[in-house]
A and B are shown apart, each in its own frame.
Chain A
Amino acid sequence: MSNEPINRAVRLIAEQSIDRASQSLSKMLKAGASIDLKRVGMVDIADITTDLNGENQEVIGSFVDLLGDAPFKFLFYVQTKGAFMLTDLLLKRKSGTTLQYDENVSGTIQEIGNILASAVANTFANDFQISFKPTPPVVFNDFAASLFEGLIFQAAGEDNQILLIESRLVIMKIHLPCRIFVIPMPGSYKILEFSE
């Protein structure tokens, strides 16, 4: 597999997809969200997980499996305290109201994961003429590195390198950084390359 054609095609679509995700989220939260596409390309599983292990973050995250012609996996996460701030923002409550992980926090992160994953999936589906069937988002409160392990588990079983689309998102109103990872599964590489 040559990485370059995939990278060029996926980068273009990834940029469009995060623009759409940013718009959707801004609309939902009624607050500006800026998204930066941090990387698109093949990464070594040991290297990327060493980086994340070093960050040592405790987060609340939302997983979505995008099943279909070209299966992807999606993960959105934010630091635990940040998730509390997001919950207050979404529920239009005074910042600092939410102090612990509860069903409101879980519901907020689930909904944001759903919105973002749908935006990403729709862009890839339109531009590559493929279909996705997203699973309901599953929310976890855990170490970021442990969640990421779950995200790449299947892809890493087949290869030492995975195709990773990583974006960093900031909710401007509360200066809150969040992360989005999208992993096209190895079975989808052929479709992405063909579309180039």
Chain B
Amino acid sequence: MSNTPLIVGIGDIKIGKNPTSIRTHLGSCIGVCLYSSQLKAGGMLHCMFPAAAERRDKPDFRPAKYADSGIQELVAVLKKAYSLEPRDLTAKIFGGACMLKIISSNIGQMNELSALATLKELHIPVLSFKTGGEKGYQIDFNLENGSVLCRVFGEESKEF
């Protein structure tokens, strides 16, 4: 695996092939990892909000900020780069914490539900997820085997 991981920011997508890993930190945001075991390729989305809705019509619309449009965008990017179709992919989901009471309501949970619904529409199976809580997440997505090393702040790392 490459020593230096690709880093994903907020409202951002990164893709790669083995030997590569992709890393991000999450709070109430959701990280969605899509992987093709055949090609050993995949990508990660780091989205903030559940649904793009009418924002799709705005000139500065950034699909990766939203769970629904972000997953569609990640699928499109993987198709363009590696000719992968949704049927080739599996998903893992992380984040969605309620760590800051100053952030309104249960945005993390709404992000998770929107991501699950979009993946269902695309017929992409969700193999595992670790969501919720009140602490941030660090996730490292290994494109050699599709595993995700997840560390919730203050806890031991766990592989998914």
Contacts and interface: CB of A to CB of B under 8 A. Distances in A.
Contacts of B11: 45-46, 156, 160
B25 A53 contact: yes
B136 interface: yes
Given A65-B102, A140-B100, A150 B12 contact: no
Given A143-B136, A150-B102, A53 B48 contact: no
A91 to B, nearest CB: 24
A127 interface: no
Contacts of A150: 27-28, 99-100, 102-103
A157 B48 contact: yes
Which among B24, B27, B103 has the highest number of chain A CB atoms within 10 Å? Answer: B27
Nearest to A58: B153
Contacts of B17: none
Interface of A: 45-54, 56, 58, 63, 65, 138, 140-147, 149-150, 152-154, 156-157, 159-160
Main secondary structure of the interface of B (DSSP, over half): loop
B144 to A, nearest CB: 21
B62 interface: yes
Contacts of B29: 149
Given A45-B11, A49-B9, A150-B100, A160 B60 contact: yes
Interface residues of B, number: 32
Given A142-B99, A146-B153, A45 B25 contact: no
Contacts of A153: 27-28, 48, 100, 103
Contact of B10 (A54, A142, A149): A149
B92 interface: no
B81 interface: no
Given A45-B9, A53-B7, A54-B7, A145 B103 contact: no
B99 A50 contact: no
B138 interface: yes
B49 A53 contact: no
A160 B8 CA distance: 15
